[in-house]
Amino acid sequence: GHLLSVYFFSMERWLVLVLLPVVFCQTIYNTQYFISLQGKKADPCHIGLTADNPDCTANELPWAAVTVWTPSNAARLLNANAPVGQFFEGTGYKFSLLGRNLGTADRQVRLSTQAGRCSAIDNTINPLTATVDTGSDNNKPNADNPGTRLTFSPDITWLSSNLEIEETPRAICVSSIDNNNAWVYTGFKYKVVWPCESNFGAAPAANARACPPPSTGSDTKLTGRDADFSSSFDQFSDDIRRVRSQRTICCPSAGGGIGQCINPNTQTCCGAAPVEKKNQRCCQQGTELVQWNDAACPCTRSTSTTACPAGETCCLPSKYASLNHDDQMGECYNPSTHQCCDTGSRFDPGSSQCCVINGLQSLNIPCPCASDSHCRGNIGDTSDDGDFKCCRQTNPVPWEAAFETTKGAGTSICDINANYPSGTGPYHAQPCLGKCYNSKYQLCCNGVSCISSYERCCNTTCCDKYQGTCQKGRRPGAPGQWNNPLDYDVEFEVCSVIEQMNTVKAFWVFVWPAELMGGTFVALAIALGFASHANKYATAKYKNIERLIIAIATLASLFAIPLFFAPLYKYGTLIVLTSVVAIVTAASRVRWLNVFCVLLHGLLVLYILDPFHANILFNFSSMRTPNGNTDPDSMGILHVTRKMWRKLSDQPIAGSAESSTTVILQDASSTAINANQRYFAEVSYLGQTQTTGFATGERGYVAFNQKLNFQGLPRGPISLTIFTITNLDPATAQPHRSSWTRLASASGSGTGQLELKTVWEMPTGIVLGTVKAYVANAFDGAPSPPTDWCTSYFGFFKFDSVTRDERIYNPLVPTFGYCSRGWVMALFLFEGGIFIFVLTQFVLTLVGLVVRFKEPWSPVHLEARY
């Protein structure tokens, strides 16, 4: 059933991919859209507009590229000759608006207001009736063959001089097929201009066709004209006069059409169309095609050699040869800045690429592929084709691979026809299981691309060579479900940072212990060599006590060597140093050195045993807690070794604050004691707590009667100390140690409950009812938390949990090597021997000192003989 559901789900995906182009084409073919008007191409943004949504949200082409020009009515008395006269002398000048699916009935054409949007029609300008046909006057459209042309002629209201004054054109709107009172943008605009011709640009200023256009009634162009007509130019404002006077250059229309005057300081000519220098350019003079500076000029297969500006080439579609035709659109591109994609689009190779399967897409996303051939020529440069290859998952083969060849035997559905007929599609919708990669600097990691210079492949993971390592392990099954046999005993590779060995870790694991061990052997060799030489040439041979001191000191040094392979090297170094001094002392027989040796042995005994364990002043702690207090777990060699023995946890307790154990009881209504605080380093978990009572007593005193219930208390005794807090640090919201006043203490014996009963006087500055208390441990400070201390010291020797299957490996044995339970137990055994030897040596050196002072002093003198 599961396989069938997967099969039909996959079939549904492929059907969507196959049927989507069909639905798209059917929608386009049934939609009204316009193509050209008087040789101008329509703005593509108009396709799909309706009566409810009649205007483009953003124009794709500059308005000069889609605007048709007509002469101003003011030029009627001045320019009776063609082509201007055609608009006034009744010769029937017609506009032909070509398109597709234009209906079967005649339509209405109107102009928008000055805002240029068809949602607002100018009712002062007459509507025009547009005759619909299929390309000729006698070929009427029908339901099976809808109209392809609308023909209309502008009347006098469309040539008003008021329209000439406007800076921007108006939208040409056509009535909806279903409603003659609803209007839709055609993709074209309309502008009335003062007509001119370039051959009169250098003619006398009195010539009416010269630039600039008249802006006052006294203009020489109006000499001898009707007074009323001339005075109409005096109605212009000063701003309009100044703007018109700057239009000194004539842009003539190709083929003797209507030209217009422009300002050469800000504009240039593209046929009769003005081009704004700051952000536009001329693509084709003949068709007055203007384009944005950063957009491509269009071209067709039939005009590919003539349509593009100088220095540019026409990029034509070449992906599907069966679709090629003369009117097929392409884009002009400059080979020095852009490249051509086989879909007929130019692209910037610095940000995009042309993929064989799905056309243009971002350069940041690898192209989809099914074979290496799909990765060649992707960016228009064939010189590096040999470096691009297809990266696919091969182990295991994905189940989708079965559907990649459903097109036919041996024929992959992941090919250039996957996005027919457009040739372009989103990368995430491609029926391809591979991704292209550049083998110059990448490597294929079972379907994932990695950087070859600093990454290695671990199964399907790119593993950083300097921070991780490929570690083989057993794939964990369902977490916590040991009865689930999924992936039992399946070996796989994983990128592990925890088990990675680098230079720093290698120093602490191998080099540092080896150096200390080598130093120990060198020191012993020197000391024993001195002792042997002294005994050979001394007048009095060694006494038994001196021989015993030398023997035990040597054994103590040897037993201290294992401490170098643990975070106990401080103790091992001091033991070796003290033992060497003992050997030299026994051999030299110098009294003051005997005294020094006894003192050094006494210090060593105190350091490794730390009899003042709970004393904050006289303890011999070798470490500190995060808050700066002495670490009770480092007071003596046994405590430090015990710290290595603790159970390590892969997952930290949620909500625990490892650097602090502060618990603040706010007031009488408070029940908030953080259940996850760790009051003792030995306690791995303290569960929920409950408050059964917290009341205020008489003024000036607070009665505290609280019972704390813990889940998972340690089996041994536990004690708490309560302090009041008179103020908090405003920066950290933590209590100042100087403000604590010890009030009470309590202890429990592992029964799961602590009961605190006490009455204390409120400190100065604390208001009744807002007494705060701090619960700390018996060591007067927070001990270090039960983290993975040994593995943190070495940065190694901890198993990566993702490589450990709890059905095979014991989850309570998370360490190995120097941090393993076996090695810790061995350290305890060696430390037992160290205690015996050090204590015996201390007694012997003390007895030796007494003997040294009782007998005549005869120090050893060494001589150099030649």
Q: What is the pLDDT of residues 2-43, one digit of tens each?
A: 333 333 333 334 333 443 444 334 444 568 889 888 888 899
What letter does residue 530 receive in the DSSP assignment? H
Return the SS3 of 851: helix
What type of residue sits at position 503?
T
Q: Is it the case that residue 289 has pLDDT exceeding 70?
A: yes
User: Looking at residues 728-736, what average pLDDT do you find?
Assistant: 45
In terms of Cβ atoms closer than 10 Å to its own Cβ (0-12, 13-18, 19+), residue 733 is: exposed
Residues in contact with 379: Cβ distance below 8 Å, sequence separation at least 6, in sequence order: 339, 349, 353, 354, 363
What letter does residue 774 receive in the DSSP assignment? E
Q: How many CB atoms lie within 10 A of CB 10?
A: 16
> Can you tell me the distance from the alpha carbon of 461 to that of 458, in angstroms, rounded to the nearest whole number?
5
Q: Is it the case that residue 288 has pLDDT exceeding 80?
A: yes
Q: What is the pLDDT of residue 805?
A: 84
Strongest mean pLDDT among 6-15, 87-96, 370-379, 826-835: 826-835
Higher pLDDT, 679 or 172: 172
Q: Are residues 341 and 334 in contact, defined by beta-carbon separation less than 8 angstroms? A: no
Q: Are residues 130 and 150 in contact, defined by beta-carbon separation less than 8 angstroms? A: yes
Q: Is it the case that residue 742 has pLDDT exceeding 60?
A: no
The tens digit of pLDDT for each residue in 406-416 reads 665 556 688 88
Omega before 212 within 30 of 0, i.e. cis? yes
Q: Is it the case that residue 743 has pLDDT exceeding 70?
A: no
Q: Are residues 595 and 852 in contact, defined by beta-carbon separation less than 8 angstroms? A: no
At residue 149, what are phi and psi to the nearest 5 degrees? -150, 140
Q: What is the pLDDT of residue 434?
A: 92
Strongest mean pLDDT among 25-29, 298-302, 572-576, 685-689: 572-576
Least confident of 323-337, 401-415, 472-486: 401-415
Q: What is the pLDDT of residue 839?
A: 94
What type of residue sits at position 228?
D
In terms of Cβ atoms closer than 10 Å to its own Cβ (0-12, 13-18, 19+), residue 30 is: exposed
- pTM for the model stands at 0.61
User: Looking at residues 237-244, what average pLDDT do you find?
Assistant: 87
Least confident of 103-112, 548-557, 583-592: 583-592
Q: What is the pLDDT of residue 759?
A: 36
* Residue length of the chain: 866
Least confident of 74-88, 111-125, 392-406: 74-88
DSSP for 186-234?
Answer: EEEEEEEE----GGGTTS-TT-TTSSSPP-STT-GGGTTS-HHHHHGGG
Percent of the chain residues topping a pLDDT of 70? 71
Strand partners, 568: none
Q: Is it the case that residue 729 has pLDDT exceeding 80?
A: no
Q: Is it the case that residue 202 has pLDDT exceeding 80?
A: no
Q: Is it the case that residue 112 has pLDDT exceeding 60?
A: yes
Least confident of 329-338, 620-629, 735-744: 735-744
Structure confidence at residue 235 as a pLDDT band (50, 70, 90): confident
Q: What is the pLDDT of residue 297?
A: 92
Alpha carbon 550 to its chain centroid, in Å, reads: 66
Q: Record the tokens describing residue 315, joined without a space.
A: 């990029």
Percent of the chain residues topping a pLDDT of 90? 29
DSSP for 28-80?
Answer: HHTS-EEEEETTEEPPGGGTT--SSS-S-SS-SS-GGGSEEEEE-GGGTTT--
Higher pLDDT, 490 or 731: 490
Q: What is the pLDDT of residue 81?
A: 58
> Can you tell me the distance from the alpha carbon of 601 to that of 838, in angstroms, rounded to the nearest whole number?
8
User: Looking at residues 57-79, what average pLDDT do you find?
Assistant: 82
Higher pLDDT, 866 or 438: 438
On average, the pLDDT of the chain sits at 75
User: Looking at residues 206-231, what average pLDDT do you find?
Assistant: 75
Higher pLDDT, 215 or 361: 361
Q: Parallel, antiparallel, or unpaired for β 183-193 and 67-71?
A: parallel
Q: What is the pLDDT of residue 684?
A: 24
Q: Are residues 567 and 642 in contact, defined by beta-carbon separation less than 8 angstroms? A: no
Least confident of 163-172, 254-263, 719-728, 836-845: 719-728
User: Residues 197, 199, 204, 207: is their CA dihedral positive or negative?
Assistant: negative
Q: What is the pLDDT of residue 561?
A: 96
DSSP for 520-538?
Answer: HHHHHHHHHHHHHHHHHH-
